[in-house]
Structure 1
Amino acid sequence: MVGAWVARSAPRPLLWVAAAVAVAVLSWWAVGRMRLTARRRAIARTDLSELDLMSGTEFEEHVAGLMQVHGYSAVTVVGGAEDGGADILARSPRGQAVVVQCKRWRHRVPPNDVRAFIGTLNSGYDGYQGMFVASNGFTEAAARAGGEHMVLVDRDGLARWMGGVEVPVPPRA
């Protein structure tokens, strides 16, 4: 209906169409910026003690938000019972494909869980860099097992990331 009116009454209908496309693109961009700003504010208001009260799914969403706020793109939460060992898929600020495992546990992650994630990286995510985020850190054996295969983000690293002090980015492949 609007298109017919523009075609009949406007001397330059393509100008109207171009303006409509420009307004749509600008609106899309502005909504994206507002969402990112809202996510930044939510992350800034969250402290470590609140992480301990989150469910596993909420923790995954929190980590995904941290990634988006700090330059990761194409961030998708895929976690759940059938996630195949991956909770989040994304692209790092350097453009690398990243797969993330999140554990919001009351105890430190043991080596068998880190080894299981290494298996996931090797079997289903060829070309991806790994990141393992644990709300209460890793045992020494787990840190040794995963250190050379992926980025490990423990509780202190998570605090630095949430504060914007240090953003974990996988090394170049």
Structure 2
Amino acid sequence: MTNTSSGSGTNARPREWRFVWRHRYALVLAMVVALMVGTWVALSAARPLLWVAAALVAAALVWWARARMRLAREARALALVDLSEVDRMSGTEFEEHVAGLMRVHGYTAVTVVGGAEDGGVDVLGRAPDGRKVAVQCKRWNHPVPPNEVRALIGVLSTSYRDYQGMFVASNGFTEAAAREGEGHMVLVDRDGLARWMGGTDVPEPPRL
């Protein structure tokens, strides 16, 4: 974890305002829609269904705002993590870390499915372009060997045929493993993970 000073709390409000500024157009649109719906309901107070519609619209706007704020908080938390902390994570923590990176960089429907019965896949999600992605995560102290890559290729050709593959390894891959995965999936090694965490290079599944 990178060092944080006692003044970090004073930066929370500016960060929230930066979030508001980045999403200003969407927020303005939401307020305009809410105002229009409110006016419509006020002019049609005798129609109970309009009140129901207004309540649903308001609930949707609240849900959207809360989801965006939650994503912004997760992005800030992930920004405090460096590779030295990744090296201290458990396998489960690393899976959650990768899932968080996916969410804050445009992946949707992200679900951690790792465990004893994961079938070789730890995280599922959809890439920004809508393609389904199956991710294997290895928080090992040594490079991933080729047999692990071959195992994921096998899973992608059977249980997850309509998914694109991604393999994230905190300590990279052997040369043989990298050759094995070429053309079958995207391999995220230690350097690639660092770039992803820094927001400079977001991995996307290959178009096979």
1:6 aligns to what?
none
1:53 shift after superposition = 0.8
Distance in 1, matches of 2:53 and 2:147, equals 57
1:86 aligns to what?
121
2:172 aligns to what?
137
1:11 aligns to what?
46
1:12 shift after superposition = 3.2
What TM-score comes out, normalization by structure 2 length? Answer: 0.76
1:57 aligns to what?
92
Distance in 2, matches of 1:97 and 1:21, equals 30
| AA aligned opposite 2:133 | V
Structure 2 residue 64 is the aligned partner of structure 1 residue 29: yes
Q: Which of 35, 38, 45 lines up with 2:80 in the alignment?
A: 45
Task: Let me know the Cα RMSD of the aligned residues.
Answer: 1.0
Q: 1:107-163: CA deviations, max 9, x gaps?
A: 110111111111111121112110000000001111011122100000000000011
Q: 1:70-91: CA deviations, max 9, x gaps?
A: 1111111100011011101111
Distance in 2, matches of 1:171 and 1:136, equals 21
Residues paired across the two proteins, number: 164
1:100 aligns to what?
135
1:165 shift after superposition = 0.3
Q: 1:28-57: CA deviations, max 9, x gaps?
A: 111111110011001111111110111111
**Which secondary structure does the structure 2 equivalent of 1:166 belong to?**
coil
Higher RCO (C-alpha 8 Å, min separation 6): 1
**Which secondary structure does the structure 1 equivalent of 2:52 belong to?**
helix
Gaps of 5+ in 1: 1-9
| AA aligned opposite 1:68 | R
1:118 aligns to what?
153
Among the aligned pairs, what percent are the same residue? 73
| AA aligned opposite 2:126 | R
1:97 shift after superposition = 1.0
What TM-score comes out, normalization by structure 1 length? Answer: 0.91
Q: Which of 195, 201, 205 lines up with 1:160 in the alignment?
A: 195
